Structure formats: C-alpha cells, structure tokens
A and B are shown apart, each in its own frame.
Chain A
Amino acid sequence: MTIHDIYLVSPELAMAGVAILVLFVDIALPRRNVVFLVAFLGLLVPFLMCVFLWGDTLVLDRSALFNTVTVDKFALFFKFLILGVVGVLILGSADYVERFSRTRGEFYTLILFSSIGMMFLASARELVSIYISLELTALPLVALAAFIRDERSSEAGFKFLILSGVSSAFLLYGMVLVYGFTGSTHLEQIALVVTEAGLSSGTYAMFAGIGLMVVGFGFKISMVPFQMWVPDVYEGAPTPVTAYLAVASKAAGFAVIIRVFHIAFQDVGIDWGTLFAVLSGLSMTVGNLLAISQTNVKRLLGYSTVAHAGYLLMGVAAMTSQVPSSSMDALGPSSVLFYLVGYAATNLAVFFALIAMIAKTGSEQINDLKGMVWRAPVLCAILTIGMVSLIGIPPTVGFMGKLYLFNAAISNELVWLALVGVINVVISSYYYLRLVTVMYRPSELIEKGAPCSMPVRLALGITVLGVVGIGIIPGPILDISEITIKAMVVAL
C-alpha cells in the first residue's frame, strides 16, 4: 500500500477512523451530545478528502489497491451523495436514538461502517471487490435492522440476513461464471475479452452469469420480482434505518449496476437494455399497485421505494443506446444520478417528518395520522411537499428527475416504457395523496407533543431546501451528473 493508494482511499480510511473513534468516545465519555457531535463532525474529514480528490488534477492514475478500486468522478459523486445522506441522517435521527440509551454509540458506528462499504462499492472496478464491499454494506445493516430487539425488529433483521445472504450467493455464482468465461475479474478486462471473443463460445454460460448478477443486484435495489423482503424489513427496522436502507443502500446499488453494465457488458451482445426495461416496468407497476392497499406508513413507503427503483431502472435501460452518439450514452446514467439526488432529499424529508409524527401518535398506521395538521402544521407541510415530489409534480425535484428520466427513455426509443412510467405516476398519486388527505381530516386529539430538537429541524430544513431548491434550479446538479458520466465514458 503506497502513499498514492492511501491518498486515494483516504475518505474510506477516515470514515473507518471516525467509526472507531465514535465507539471509543461512547465508552470513555458517555455523555449525550458528545457521541452525536463526534459522529457528525467526524464526517467532515472524509468529506474534505473527497473535495480534494474531486479538485485534484495532478493525480493522473486514479486506480488504487492493485487496480481494484478507482476514484474517478463517478465514484466521488456517489461518495458525496452517501456522505450527505449519512450526515443528514445523523442529524435527523437525533431524537430517535434517545431511546437507545446504552447503545447509541453502536448505532452510529454501524451506520458509519455500512457507509464505508457503500463508498467502496462506488469505487470498485473488480468483481471480488464489489462482492466484499456489498457484504460490508449489508452486515451492519442486518444488525441495525434488528436494533430495537423486539419481535418485529428481530424478524426484520433475520429476514434481511437470510435474503441478503441468498442474493449474495446468486451474485457470487454469477461472478464465477463470468470469471470462468473471461478469465478476469477486472471490468475492463472482461470488456476487452468480450469484444475480442465476440459471441463464439461460452455464450450461454456468460448469459447465465450476467442473469445471476442481475438477480443479485436486484435484491439490493429492491427490484421486482426480488422485492419481497422490502415491506417486512422496512416495517420492522428502526425508522432511521429504514430511511438509510431506502436511500443510501439503493444509491450504492445503482452505482455498481451502472459501472458493471456500462463498462464490462456494453458489447456483450445481449439486449440487456430491454431486460432492464421490462424489469423497470414491472417494478413500477407492482410497487405502485401493492402500495395502494397498505395501511402501515412504513410498508407503504417500502412499496413506494420498489416503484422508484423501477423509475430509476428506466435510466439504466436507456444506457444501451441504439443511437450511436456519446452524448446519448450519457443521458441514461446521468438521469439516474440526478434522480438519485432528488430521491434521497425527498425520501429523507419524508422519513424525518414521519419519525416526528410517529413519535407524537405512537402508531405507524396511516389512519392515526388523522388531525395531524392541527398538531404539527410544519411537519404536515413538509410531508406534503415530500409526497408531491414523490409523485413528480413541479416545482419539486421529483418532477425534474422524472422529466429527465422520461427524456432519457424516449431518446433511446423506449417510448412504451415512458408511457408505462406516466401511467404509474397517475397510480402513485392516489396513495401518496391519500396519506396527505388523512392528515387534514379532523380528529379529537389536539395535544401538540414535544417539538423537534434543533438537529432534526436542521435536517428537515436541509432536505426540504433540497427538494424545492433543486426543483426550481436543477441546472448545477444536472451539469455535475452529466460531467460525471462523460468523464467515465471518456476514461474508457
């Protein structure tokens, strides 16, 4: 491990340092706010390292650790996104973690460790590293899902453990087949072999390998038909963890899908664009239809994230462009990146508002949100904005994201998929708005309950600003996501 390597993976190393520090501080100084502050301010170190790496034009060789990871703009984009999500999450869960009086440090540490896995996942350019990063991401999440230690939470943890194990097995088997055919685990090498060998031999084994990898990744991004763990785990896990699963975990999953399919399997000769298009349509439709009948808020949001995985897959499907120009190539993946930013801001706002509301009602049933507008008008306004953005109505970021995604789909001649998408927008508006309408129904309960603490207000403020701000001025983020993808295309 040279200095060069250390510099390039410094964000992850710093993150690990913060995670361990939090653990020690928790033991040494068991005061309420210290752990929180260390965890939050500690994030500044990896953040600054990412800023340096983004701006650094001197380091030409951007691959580290024996060429297994690369720190290109694409990876850094996701690192920023994940760091942002973790930062806001730590702020937003400040009230919630009060109930873990003795295990608060562990809660933060596990989240931080999991995010290291995600950050590596965004960088990984080699199959074994991808696998290890995925495991590093998933295992802390298992513990986190079971963190409340009651029946539902334990079930959630156990279910997540088993199903993520099964999906990893699929993924690994797929990787083995691909390795057996191409003789390499490096994505560029695989692409090279595929291009040279054409489709002469071992094609079916290769296809099976790719198919199994799609299954493995499909579990991680909660795509239909591999979504059955979602509602149970989302319902049982502590709500901040649910938010983390819904946002960061999905973002990292899409990072790795885009990298693997964009680099390794671009010329593989099967039309995986159509495959993803079909999966995308299925995810949207099934997710939205199942969400309609839900009565539990967290289950509803679980199915909503399945639907959103479908929207995002639209951008992945648009990656295999039939139009032979590089600017079109960039449109699909860059729309995924943009959508992920908006999705993260929106979902975090929604989850934080719900955490605060659930703290007031003590129930996760949708009907118990009745009369919430009198008890917490600001939270209601935030949740309304969040729901409007999830539907995709302007002037929120959800609209801009969908506009960009549908645009990518249509420009790649996936008009039918865009039509399925818009019909799904209509379906989804029903259950999102039902949630809002319930809050405006009259109810006898009027006590206001404890107000949110300062960090939670800050987190809500940041996320709502993101939802509306990027919705009105999407230019900068659009530019960054395009630059990011173009840099990756050029690097090939």
Chain B
Amino acid sequence: MLTAVVFTPLAGALIILALLHDPRVVRRFAIAVILVDLAIAIAIFCIFDPSDPGLQLEERINWIPALKVQYFLAVDGLNAPFVLLTGILGMCAALASGSINVRVREYFVWLLVLQTALVGVFLALDFVLFFVFWELQLIPMYFLISIWGSGRKEYSAMKFLAFTILGSAFMLVGFLAIYLSTGIFDMVALRNVDLDTLVIPAKVIFFLLAIGFIVKLPSWPFHSWLPDAHTDAPTGVSVILAGVLIKMGGYGLIRVCVSIFPGITQDYSWLIVALGVISIIYGALVTLRQSDLKRLIAFSSISHMGLVLLGIASIGAVSDHLTSTGLTGAAMQMFTHGTITGLLFILVGVVYEKAHTRYIPDLGGLAHSMPFVCVTFVIAGLASLGLPGLSGFVSEILVFLGAFSAWPWPTAIAVFGIVLAAGYILWMIQRVFFGPVSSKHVQVKDIGVLEAIPVAVLVATIVVVGIYPTFLTDVFSVGVDPIIENVRDIAR
C-alpha cells in the first residue's frame, strides 16, 4: 500500500512518456493519476490507527545487502498527515496547471516524478532510501522552475539547486558517519543506539544533518533561495514548493535530529530558538516591504517556518515542564501552512493569469470583478494571520503554548510576529482587492471551474482543521510522544 502511494505517480509518468502524446490526453491522464494517488493517501490516513504508537503498514526489503541498506517504508503519527498533505497539494498543483501550454507532456511527467519523490521522503525510514527520495526531488524541481518559470527562472532554479545540494551533501556525510559507527541506516532502530562511541563527535553529525534540513526549511540565514524560487516558479510548482517541499526540512529535523539526537537538540535548543525568532521577525519585516504578490507570500513563508523552529525548540524545557505540545504544534504548523500557502499561491496564480500583473500598486478593487477569488483569498489570509476558527490559529497557539514554558521571552518576541503578519496580510488584501478599481482591470474575469476545485478543497481543509483540529493533533501527538519520552529519558 505504501509502495503504491509512492510509485503510482512515477508509473503514471512512465506511461505518459511511453504512450501518450496529445497534450489534452496527457493533462487528463496526469490528473487522474494524481487523484488515484490522493485516494490511496486518504485511505492510508483512514486506516492509520491513532491509538497505536508504533509503526504501521511496514514494508521492509533488503535492498543492498552489502551495505545493510533496506527498502523500508512505514507510517507513524508523524508522517501520516504529511502523506495526506502531499496528496492534497499534489492534486491542487495538477489542477492549477491549466495555464501551462508549452511542452505539456514533459511538465506533467516532471510533476508526477516530483510527487513520487515527495511522498517517498515522508515514508522512507532508511537513511539511504530517504536520501534517494530527498535528492530525487531536485531534478524535477530544477526543470520545472527553469523551463516553465518566469522572470530570472534559470538563475532561481540554479540557486535553489545549489543551496539544496550543499545542504544535502553535508547531510550525506552525517548519515555515513552514523552508519560507520553503528552499522545501520535504519532511522527507527537508531533511536535506541548509544551515540557516544561515534567516530566523529555526535555534535558534529547533528550539525551536519541540521544544516541540510534548515537550508530546506529554510531558516534565516539560509533563506535567500526561497523567494527567488517561489516567485519564478509556475503556479502549480509554487504550490508544491511552499506547501510540501519546504516541509521536508521541518519533518527531517523532527524525524532525524530530534528523535535520534534528543540530548544534543536539547543542549542546542537555544540556537534553534534564536534562529526561529530571527526568522519570524525578520521574515515578517521583509514581507511588509514587498510589492510583488508572489514574493510577499514567499517571504511570509520564512516567517511562518520560524514558528516550526520555535515549536521544536520547546523541547529545551526542563523535564517537569516538558510536554509534547510544542512539537505537535510544529508539526501542525507545517500542515496548516502547507494548505494555507498552497491556497494563496493558487489564488495569486489566478490573479496573475487574469490581470497579467503581480505588482501590487497596479492592482486594486479586484473584489468587484473576481468575488470568488476575493472571498477565498480573505479566508486564506485570515487563516495565515491566525484567526481563531481557522487552521492557522490552532497550530500557532500550540507552538506558543509549548514554547512559552521553555522560552518565555523569545516566545513573547515571536508573538509580535503575528501582529506584523496581521499587518502585511490585511494591508495586502486591502490594496489588491479593495479600494478604487484600476481602470485596466474592470474586465477581469473570475476563477475558472477547474481551478475552483482545488481552491474549494483547500478552503474546506482550512475550515475543518480550524473547527475540529483533534483529528490531526491526535495523530501527530501519537507520533511525537515517543520522541518526547526519549528526551525525558536523556534529561534524567
């Protein structure tokens, strides 16, 4: 079942390459494949039993016996929601690619390969397999940005690639260093291994791995690839990039750094909190100054990803106060940010397509001509700034509650980021959708039916998670609890 959810898109891509030529057929087929994949992802999420803290639906095969590398996929509370998220946003990206009309066939092939890599990263529990999927997303992403993007697309694609490869190269050395002392690549078994006997000090390995993940997240000061890549990517790819791809970084931090090196994470949680707070405030301040819609949302992502770091840093609390709230909040923040930002990017894509500009001063009064877009945009914006009742609020409150017991002052500073978020979101909505109607945009049409589907799905997700978050938080906390237990053991 897990193999199916990982490799269905790849199989679809191969079929397109081998058999299909007509762009219209390719588009329909690719969407069908993604829908099948989403159906499997939903099925996995439903089958997943949130009362069982262990691994479920395990699939293990000896892949390279000489190096003890396994083909090892499994779901637990930590990755099950991300599989669902990847499925949903994959579908949204495919449906939001209506404006792609050059080399349609290759576009969808790359998009499907990307989907395989992303689902694979979340499910793989063997370092080598994890790394294979982690690197596999680079090549499709590079081509998707550099061929179908806009603006300085080749520069942005190369920048994205250089940052990520640099990060993952360090990560590879870290994995190998762990392998060398312990002889295993198995992420789950490594939780129980004594890491004091490593060839390289465990601290060094921790930082090698953490750099790889933090570049991806991205946190200040490794964030500069993100605005370029997001801005120049085509709409569907921006959705994937902001919605899923950067979540790999946060997921990796929790899955690898926190759960394998709990002691060291705790020792250096001051550093994580510092990076988190700087990202939140710096990201928000830079966001205020943006005049390109897409760039604005991209910078707000940096700010929101800072909250993930803040949530992770909550494990720095003394063991009496240590709860799973902060870590659950971090994971939730990634999920909710994925849906909210995905939605924002789709809507910006629609605005750009109809109004032919993303430059905020040129826009204005679009509420009259595109009411549907306006309403959904406002919902997404309010969710993004953390309005109670929508999903953003849930994750933010969890992060702040968790982090406050460990880091009261930094958390207090970080809360100020929310005020800034309210500022840039509301100001942006006001400038784009309300105010005087710009004469150029009187004739602009509202969203098409095909693109309305992903918008509706995402709005529904945001509202449902906002009103009834337990169905997600229960799952996440099942995944997070064993990690917190581990941290407590170390602290004792």
Partner of B66, one of A393, A413, A482: A482
Q: Whole-angstrom distance from the CB of B293 to the nearest CB of chain A?
A: 27
Task: Find out whether the CB atom of A422 lies under 8 angstroms from the CB atom of B170.
Answer: yes
Q: List the count of A-B residue pairs having beta carbons below 8 Å apart.
A: 79
Residues of A within 8 A of B65 (CB): 475, 479
Q: How far is the CA of A143 from the CA of B107 in the complex (A)?
A: 47
Residue A65 CB within 8 A of the other chain: no
Residues of A within 8 A of B172 (CB): 403, 406, 422
Q: Whole-angstrom distance from the CB of A122 to the nearest CB of chain B?
A: 23
Interface 1/0 per residue, A394-430 and B, CB below 8 Å: 1100011001101100110101001100110110011
Partner of A393, one of B138, B173, B176, B180: B138
Q: Whole-angstrom distance from the CB of A427 to the nearest CB of chain B?
A: 9
Task: Find out whether the CB atom of B200 lies under 8 angstroms from the CB atom of A415.
Answer: yes
Q: How far is the CA of A422 from the CA of B66 in the complex (A)?
A: 23
Task: Find out whether the CB atom of A407 lies under 8 angstroms from the CB atom of B180.
Answer: yes
Residues of A within 8 A of B64 (CB): 400, 474-475, 478
Task: Find out whether the CB atom of B146 lies under 8 angstroms from the CB atom of A399.
Answer: no
Task: Find out whether the CB atom of A393 lies under 8 angstroms from the CB atom of B199.
Answer: no
| B132 nearest in chain A by CB position | A394
Residue with the greatest number of chain A CB neighbours at <10 A, chosen from B165, B166, B199, B200? B165
Residues of A within 8 A of B444 (CB): none
Q: How far is the CA of A413 from the CA of B199 in the complex (A)?
A: 8
Task: Find out whether the CB atom of B161 lies under 8 angstroms from the CB atom of A433.
Answer: yes
Task: Find out whether the CB atom of B161 lies under 8 angstroms from the CB atom of A429.
Answer: yes
Residue B147 CB within 8 A of the other chain: yes
Residue B442 CB within 8 A of the other chain: no
Task: Find out whether the CB atom of B139 lies under 8 angstroms from the CB atom of A410.
Answer: no
Partner of A415, one of B136, B154, B169, B173: B173
| A425 nearest in chain B by CB position | B169
Residues of A within 8 A of B63 (CB): 475
Residue A103 CB within 8 A of the other chain: no
Residue B131 CB within 8 A of the other chain: yes
Q: Whole-angstrom distance from the CB of B424 to the nearest CB of chain A?
A: 34
- Interface residues in A364-419 (C-beta closer than 8 Å to B): 388, 391, 393-395, 399-400, 403-404, 406-407, 410-411, 413, 415, 418-419
Q: How far is the CA of A410 from the CA of B67 in the complex (A)?
A: 14
Q: Whole-angstrom distance from the CB of B190 to the nearest CB of chain A?
A: 17
Residue B135 CB within 8 A of the other chain: yes
Q: How far is the CA of A410 from the CA of B204 in the complex (A)?
A: 14
| B143 nearest in chain A by CB position | A440
Task: Find out whether the CB atom of A479 lies under 8 angstroms from the CB atom of B66.
Answer: yes
Task: Find out whether the CB atom of B166 lies under 8 angstroms from the CB atom of A410.
Answer: no
Q: Whole-angstrom distance from the CB of A293 to the nearest CB of chain B?
A: 16
- Interface residues in B119-134 (C-beta closer than 8 Å to A): 128, 131-132
Q: Whole-angstrom distance from the CB of B127 to the nearest CB of chain A?
A: 10
Residue A437 CB within 8 A of the other chain: yes
Residues of B within 8 A of A404 (CB): 67
Task: Find out whether the CB atom of B180 lies under 8 angstroms from the CB atom of A410.
Answer: yes
Partner of A394, one of B136, B170, B176, B180: B136
Residue B179 CB within 8 A of the other chain: yes
Q: How far is the CA of A474 from the CA of B131 in the complex (A)?
A: 16
Residue B299 CB within 8 A of the other chain: no
Residue B158 CB within 8 A of the other chain: yes
Interface 1/0 per residue, B42-80 and A, CB below 8 Å: 000000000000000000000111110000000000000
Residues of A within 8 A of B157 (CB): 437
Task: Find out whether the CB atom of B173 lies under 8 angstroms from the CB atom of A395.
Answer: no
Interface 1/0 per residue, B139-183 and A, CB below 8 Å: 100110011000000100110011001100110110011011000
Partner of A437, one of B138, B146, B162, B165: B146
Q: Whole-angstrom distance from the CB of A30 to the nearest CB of chain B?
A: 42
Q: How far is the CA of A437 from the CA of B64 in the complex (A)?
A: 33
Q: How far is the CA of A464 from the CA of B299 in the complex (A)?
A: 41
Majority secondary structure, B binding face? helix
Task: Find out whether the CB atom of B146 lies under 8 angstroms from the CB atom of A410.
Answer: no
| A407 nearest in chain B by CB position | B176
Q: How far is the CA of A399 from the CA of B129 in the complex (A)?
A: 12
- Interface residues in B379-406 (C-beta closer than 8 Å to A): none
By the criterion of a CB under 8 Å from any partner CB, how many residues of chain B are at the interface? 33
Given contacts A437-B154, A440-B146, contact A394 B131 (CB under 8 A): yes
Q: How large is the interface on A (under 10, 10 to 19, 20 to 34, 35 or more residues)?
A: 20 to 34
| A393 nearest in chain B by CB position | B135
Task: Find out whether the CB atom of A423 lies under 8 angstroms from the CB atom of B169.
Answer: yes
Partner of B158, one of A400, A410, A430: A430
| A442 nearest in chain B by CB position | B102
| B142 nearest in chain A by CB position | A433
Partner of B67, one of A407, A418, A430: A407
Given contacts A394-B131, A475-B65, contact A422 B136 (CB under 8 A): no
| A402 nearest in chain B by CB position | B172
Q: How far is the CA of A395 from the CA of B113 in the complex (A)?
A: 12
| A429 nearest in chain B by CB position | B165
Residues of B within 8 A of A422 (CB): 169-170, 172-173
Task: Find out whether the CB atom of A425 lies under 8 angstroms from the CB atom of B173.
Answer: no
Task: Find out whether the CB atom of B169 lies under 8 angstroms from the CB atom of A430.
Answer: no
Partner of B162, one of A410, A415, A430, A475: A430
| A415 nearest in chain B by CB position | B200
Q: How far is the CA of A395 from the CA of B176 in the complex (A)?
A: 18
Residues of B within 8 A of A418 (CB): 173, 176
Q: Whole-angstrom distance from the CB of A334 to the nearest CB of chain B?
A: 9
| B179 nearest in chain A by CB position | A407
Partner of A475, one of B66, B131, B199, B200: B66
Task: Find out whether the CB atom of A426 lies under 8 angstroms from the CB atom of B169.
Answer: yes
Task: Find out whether the CB atom of A399 lies under 8 angstroms from the CB atom of B176.
Answer: no
Q: How far is the CA of A440 from the CA of B200 in the complex (A)?
A: 43
Task: Find out whether the CB atom of A440 lies under 8 angstroms from the CB atom of B135.
Answer: no
Q: How far is the CA of A388 from the CA of B142 in the complex (A)?
A: 12
- Interface residues in B7-66 (C-beta closer than 8 Å to A): 63-66
Residues of A within 8 A of B138 (CB): 393
Task: Find out whether the CB atom of A426 lies under 8 angstroms from the CB atom of B162.
Answer: yes
Q: How far is the CA of A407 from the CA of B173 in the complex (A)?
A: 8
Interface 1/0 per residue, A225-242 and B, CB below 8 Å: 000000000000000000
Residues of A within 8 A of B177 (CB): 410, 415
| B146 nearest in chain A by CB position | A437
Residues of A within 8 A of B165 (CB): 391, 425-426, 429
Residues of B within 8 A of A415 (CB): 173, 177, 199-200
Residues of A within 8 A of B173 (CB): 406, 410, 415, 418-419, 422
Residues of B within 8 A of A475 (CB): 63-66
Residues of B within 8 A of A399 (CB): 132, 135
| B208 nearest in chain A by CB position | A419
Q: How far is the CA of A200 from the CA of B161 in the complex (A)?
A: 54
Q: How far is the CA of A65 from the CA of B280 in the complex (A)?
A: 75
Residues of B within 8 A of A437 (CB): 146, 154, 157
Q: How far is the CA of A373 from the CA of B229 in the complex (A)?
A: 24
Residues of B within 8 A of A433 (CB): 142, 158, 161
5 A-B pairs closest in CB distance: A422-B169, A394-B132, A478-B66, A426-B165, A393-B135
Additional A-B contacts beyond A394-B131, A395-B136, A413-B199 (10; CB < 8 A): A393-B136, A399-B132, A403-B67, A403-B128, A406-B172, A407-B176, A418-B173, A426-B169, A429-B161, A430-B158
* 28 A-B interface contacts by CB (under 8 A): A394-B131, A394-B132, A395-B136, A403-B128, A403-B176, A406-B176, A407-B67, A410-B173, A410-B176, A410-B177, A411-B180, A415-B173, A415-B177, A418-B176, A419-B173, A422-B169, A425-B165, A425-B169, A426-B162, A426-B169, A429-B165, A437-B146, A437-B154, A437-B157, A475-B64, A475-B65, A478-B64, A482-B66
